[in-house]
Amino acid sequence: MVNIDISVLFQIGNFLLLIWLMNIVLYKPVRSILIQRKEKIDQLGTDIKKFELEASNKNKQYNEGINNAKKSGIEKKENLLLEAQEEEKKIIGEIVKANQIKLEETKKKISLDIKKAKEELSGELDVFAREICNKILGRSI
């Protein structure tokens, strides 16, 4: 059987002293470490959400930048094509104009050559007529 005497009181006092010392030496530091770890995990979770939001925003900005660059590129391409078409029309117009001038000059030259040839041949018409008659008739006129 258990005898209740003063040693039980010492045992209870010893137990309470041990709990108090363990609380100071072991439980409080462990609890503070657990609290710090929980705060750090919560902070990391908040940071992760913040970084995910920033990444999402940057991804949207990147996609908008890509789309804007594409639109800008397409507009520049269309502008360059229009400028090239205008330049092409201008060059073709100049070539057509130059060719028309050359054609007119050639026509005038041919016309002058024909006129000159007619004048030369009309002067010799009597000579040719006599020679043809001589050849056809076999005698001279």
pLDDT value, residue 141: 57
| pTM beyond cutoff 0.85 | no
- In the chain, which ranges are continuous DSSP H helix? 6-22, 28-123, 125-137
Per-residue pLDDT, averaged over 84-110, amounts to: 95
Residues 6+ apart with CB under 8 A from 134: 140, 141
Whole-number Å distance between alpha carbons of 51 and 55:
6
What is the pLDDT, as a whole number, of residue 1?
Answer: 60
